[in-house]
Amino acid sequence: MRSTPHILVINGTKVRRPVFILGAPHSGAVPLARAVKRSPGFHLTTSRPGVLRVTYAFARQPSIATERGKGAARVIRDAYAEAWLVSGRACAQCPDDCRELAGLPPRPPAAAGRPADQGARQEPCVEPQGLARFADASPDLIYSADVLLDAFPDAQLVQVIRDGRDVVADMLDDERCLAWFKPGLANLDTVFPNPFLGVEDHTERNRWPRAAAAVKCALRWRGSVRLSARLRRQVPEDQLFTVRYEEMVARPRRVTAELAEYLDAPLPKTALSGLVRAGAPDAADHGVGSWRDRLTPRQVAQVEKVAGTELRRLGYRPADA
């Protein structure tokens, strides 16, 4: 049962139908987030420190959210009350990832021998007077989907699905993704089963220490798409919209139109055009099917062994097909 609706007001604007973009790492959430952030009336944030602290706590130890009940919803709502605030000092906490989505240059580095002034004012990327909607695309939000819906019962979720082999290829090139697999961060000794790492049975748990990086990445993708499938079964259609990365590449205008209809927002028709290009990298992500050149045959076999059922269910053909 969802919690009682709570009114959150940011800069004089009531938060109604906030939008959260979900997906596995490197699933293609970045171009969607950029399109929403640059649409009139939206204030989209990503990777704000307060939000990351809360969402990673819930992701890596789900019992925190379940044991706290309504308290977990209040914690994440408070995190967004701070993250969505628009002011010079609040926006000084905005990471470069968020600034890039708005088309702003990175924050200038601190002068040699002098630390950056964390309390300095920063020009906001949006005008408070024109705000109508709020959104967030912080990484790994999918593990907090239930809490987000408890905190914001009218929230609209947008989940992105991408070929797991392309996802694994990009994850293997991302040190931030691989860092979660280090012994000091992989918390399988205290959390098992572990949705965040995708480890669900004792065989996977026992093999984890000696498993190849491609296997661990495949487990994370598999766990994420299983959560996506569960969301599809449990969340009403008017609160969940699923986007295929491959569709964004092949038919950006159609995806934009469908997303605009779902959000009931006037997204520009060209919001996704040029953001994703077939066969070419977008930000840190490479194009559709790039896994054929970037993964070794052994890595492809490892991914398909771990996540072959999910790949086939989603319509992704095996390598030997």
Half-sphere exposure of 299 (CA within 13 A, CB side): 21
Question: What are 247-263's pLDDT values in tens digits?
Answer: 998 999 999 999 999 99
176: Cβ contacts below 8 Å, ≥ 6 apart = none
Question: What are 18-70's pLDDT values in tens digits?
Answer: 999 999 999 999 989 989 998 989 999 999 999 999 999 999 999 998 877 77
Question: Which CATH class for the 9-313 domain?
Answer: alpha beta
Quick one: residue 61, left, alpha or beta (phi over 0 = left, psi -120 to 50 = alpha)? beta
Q: What is the pLDDT along the chain (321 residues), one digit of tens a residue?
A: 455 556 899 988 899 999 999 999 999 999 899 899 989 899 999 999 999 999 999 999 999 988 777 799 999 999 999 999 988 777 777 888 888 888 877 776 654 444 445 445 667 777 778 889 999 999 999 999 999 999 999 999 999 999 999 999 999 999 999 999 999 999 999 999 999 999 999 999 999 999 999 999 999 999 999 999 999 999 999 999 999 999 998 999 999 999 999 999 988 888 887 654 444 444 445 679 999 999 999 999 999 999 999 999 999 998 876
Query: How far are the Cα atoms of 27, 89, 228, 307 from residue 23, in angstroms, in the given order?
Result: 6, 30, 8, 16
In angstroms, the CA 16 to CA 264 distance is: 12
| 3 state SS of 6 | coil
Query: How far are the Cα atoms of 124, 247, 259, 294 from residue 243, in angstroms, in the given order?
Result: 29, 7, 9, 24
Q: Is the pTM of this model over 0.85?
A: yes
